[in-house]
Amino acid sequence: MSVNRDVESELKYELQDERVGERLLGAEHLGPLSPLGPVDVVRHDDRYFDTPSGALAAAGYAARLRQTPEDTLLAVKSLQPPDAALHVRDELETPVPPVLDIGGWPPSDARALIVELTGDAELVETVRLRQLRRKRRFGDSSTSVEVSLDSVEVQRDGATVDGFVELEVELVRGAVRDLEPVARALDRVDGLTAARSSKLERALAAVRPALAGPPTPSPAPPKSPGVTSDDAFSEAGRKVLRFHFDRMVAREKGTRAAKDPEELHAMRVATRRLRAAWRVFGDTYRIRKTRRIRRSLGEVAGRLGAVRDLDVLLEAAEQYAASLSAKDQAGVNPLFDAWRRRRAEARHALINELDVVAYRELLDEFRAFLADDSVARPVKPNRPQLVRDTAPAAIWAAYHRVRAYDGVVRSADLETLHALRIEAKRLRYSLEFFREALGPEAGELVRPTVELQDHLGAMHDFHVAAELTREFLLERAGELDGGETDAVGRYLLNAEREVTRLRRSVGSPWRGVSGARFRRGLGQVLARL
């Protein structure tokens, strides 16, 4: 029995108005590609299946039986996170009899993979999609794509529970990079939105409420750690760690889905605060109880940071590009496309990090730590151990590390200012950890600290953008045409100007933290503990 081994590469878009897709099917060109034939119409009946425990999904695969008027095809696809509209997945496909029964399918690589992942577990239908597909080939001498406009009905137990329309551009011949000019052309079409999830994921999201029944209201998450001045310092630390650990875990699903970049941002912020909390409270715990947690948390934070930093970079780049003419936008596209590819690689590495056993072990060990009263080191009776006795020294120490820059901040190089930013961030987190115990006046201390951190952060972001742009120009010097080189060079100059502007104006936010008013306010707040 023959089996098609392939990597499926396609652009996927959601659209609210079906007429947008119809116009694209009838267009005289699609980016650089021209029509290769008329529009064809087919109907598909897709039955997605898994074991009752979800073994295929847990292993990172989706499987379906596709019924057409001619035959039935078994397809097994890997679940890979998309890069914007681009979905690239491994795929195995083979003809089978139209039965949901492994025993009734002939030997094939697709069947063997399902057996390997599910063993002898029962297979059950999870959702059914009925599709009316209008499709047309576009191409040139080296590239061919199939453009499909799919009207989809989502069915569960014979009832239609949802419907949507999706446009797909599947690569038939050529390299994945050949889809880039098509993607750029489609990005300019009003009414198209890059699909961040597969049809299966959209369908399962539609049927899930019906399966679950009326939702049970869950208790609102706490808005703060709840640290009091009478808490033991080690217990205050566990309150802070528990609060931000719960926030990190709550954002994992949204980070994986990649529909809203703020989900990843919030997960990264939670890991940052967790690591800052370890610096403040870590010495109160037994090292052997926390060493692995801290190391594993650092690895996850690094992966999140790599993606988030590129999100920030690309957001600023897109704002810059929006002010340009169409010609200049085309000129900087090679640079921004390279950053998008780098972001896709960083996101792939992040998802791999979240999928490994070590991450689940981190979550289990963290939960065990938070529930274990024996993790704290013994404290001698004559040593301070309550928040009101210990927090003032910790906060003053964080402030002294910021104030140490007073003599150099106005002439400091970028590396020194970046180090100051890190210390300002740690001061801010230290204030926030004890905010309830310090009282409402603590907010007046957090605000100027955030302003300094944000100012230095923006300067650092533009510096990174300039460095990466210079690196790009050196690496691609022989590949860019004159217009592209000039456009990228102007973007580099803009980033360097922003660095200079922010560096010259650092005095104002610095005075907000280093001045007598801040010191006096900090002393008064700490004296109330």
pLDDT digits (tens, 9 = 90+) for 392-425: 999 999 999 999 999 999 899 999 999 999 999 9
Phi and psi at residue 364, to the nearest 5° = -65, -45
Measure Cα distances from 5 to 90, 109, 110 in Å: 8, 9, 9
Query: Quick check: 13 and 186 in contact, CB under 8 A?
Result: yes
Beta strand residue intervals within 287-354, DSSP E: none
pLDDT computed for residue 386 by the predictor = 93
Half-sphere exposure of 156 (CA within 13 A, CB side): 15
Mean pLDDT, range 421-438, rounded to an integer: 95
Q: Which two tokens stand for residue 438?
A: 């310090």
pLDDT computed for residue 4 by the predictor = 44
Per the model's pLDDT, the better-predicted residue between 375 and 80 turns out to be 375
pLDDT computed for residue 258 by the predictor = 81
213: left (phi over 0), alpha (psi -120 to 50) or beta: left
Q: Is the pLDDT of residue 166 over 50?
A: yes
Distance (Å, rounded) from C-alpha 50 to C-alpha 64?
Answer: 9
DSSP letters for 456-498: HHHHHHHHHHHHHHHHHHHHTTTTS-HHHHHHHHHHHHHHHHH
Measure Cα distances from 65 to 71, 79, 123, 444 in Å: 10, 17, 12, 61
Residue with tokens 């990174």: 464
Q: Label residue 483 by pLDDT band (50, 70, 90).
A: very high
pLDDT computed for residue 3 by the predictor = 41
pLDDT computed for residue 211 by the predictor = 54
Beta strand residue intervals within 16-112, DSSP E: 34-35, 40-50, 61-67, 72-78, 86-95
Select from 2.60.120.200, 2.40.320.10, 2.60.40.10, 2.130.10.10 the CATH code of 4-211.
2.40.320.10
Across 319-338, b (16+ Cβ under 10 Å) vs e yields ebbeeeeeebbebbbbbbeb
Query: Which positions ≥6 away from 222 have C-beta within 8 Å?
Result: 243
Distance (Å, rounded) from C-alpha 331 to C-alpha 324?
Answer: 10
DSSP code for 107: P
Phi and psi at residue 339, to the nearest 5° = -70, -35
Longest Cα pair distance anywhere in the chain, in angstroms? 87
Query: Which positions ≥6 away from 345 have C-beta within 8 Å?
Result: none
pLDDT tens for 321-362 read 989 998 999 999 999 999 999 999 999 899 888 888 888 889
Select from 1.10.10.10, 1.40.20.10, 3.10.20.340, 2.60.40.2550 the CATH code of 228-378.
1.40.20.10
Residue with tokens 């630390």: 237
pLDDT tens for 192-205 read 988 888 888 888 88
Distance (Å, rounded) from C-alpha 232 to C-alpha 213?
Answer: 44
DSSP code for 222: P
Distance (Å, rounded) from C-alpha 408 to C-alpha 403?
Answer: 10
Q: Is the pLDDT of residue 212 over 60?
A: no
Half-sphere exposure of 374 (CA within 13 A, CB side): 3
- SS3 state of residue 279: helix
Q: Is the pLDDT of residue 136 over 60?
A: yes
pLDDT tens for 223-255 read 889 999 999 999 999 999 999 999 999 999 889
Distance (Å, rounded) from C-alpha 289 to C-alpha 150?
Answer: 54
The H or E element containing residue 5 is: strand 4-15
pLDDT computed for residue 316 by the predictor = 93
Distance (Å, rounded) from C-alpha 278 to C-alpha 238?
Answer: 10
Q: Between the ranges 93-102, 145-154, 461-470, where is the mean pLDDT highest?
A: 461-470
Question: Over the chain, what is the mean pLDDT?
Answer: 90
pLDDT computed for residue 421 by the predictor = 96
Q: Is the pLDDT of residue 217 over 80?
A: no
The amino acid occupying position 413 is D
pLDDT tens for 255-272 read 988 878 899 999 999 999
| Domain boundaries, given as residue ranges, for the chain | 4-211, 228-378, 386-529
Q: Is the pLDDT of residue 218 over 80?
A: no
Query: Quick check: 432 and 493 in contact, CB under 8 A?
Result: no
Q: Is the pLDDT of residue 78 over 60?
A: yes
pLDDT tens for 22-53 read 899 999 999 999 999 999 988 888 999 999 98
DSSP letters for 160-212: EEEEEEEEEEEEEES-GGGGHHHHHHHHTSTT-EE--S-HHHHHHHHHHHHHH
Q: Which of 224, 226, 225, 234 is nearest to 389 (CA)?
A: 234
Distance (Å, rounded) from C-alpha 415 to C-alpha 419?
Answer: 6
The amino acid occupying position 306 is A
Same fold, 228-378 and 386-529: yes
Mean pLDDT, range 434-455, rounded to an integer: 94
Query: Quick check: 74 and 93 in contact, CB under 8 A?
Result: yes
Q: Structure pTM?
A: 0.61
Distance (Å, rounded) from C-alpha 147 to C-alpha 255?
Answer: 29
Q: Label residue 495 by pLDDT band (50, 70, 90).
A: very high
Q: What's the CATH number for 386-529?
A: 1.40.20.10
pLDDT computed for residue 16 by the predictor = 77
Q: Is the pLDDT of residue 285 over 60?
A: yes
Q: Is the pLDDT of residue 210 over 60?
A: no
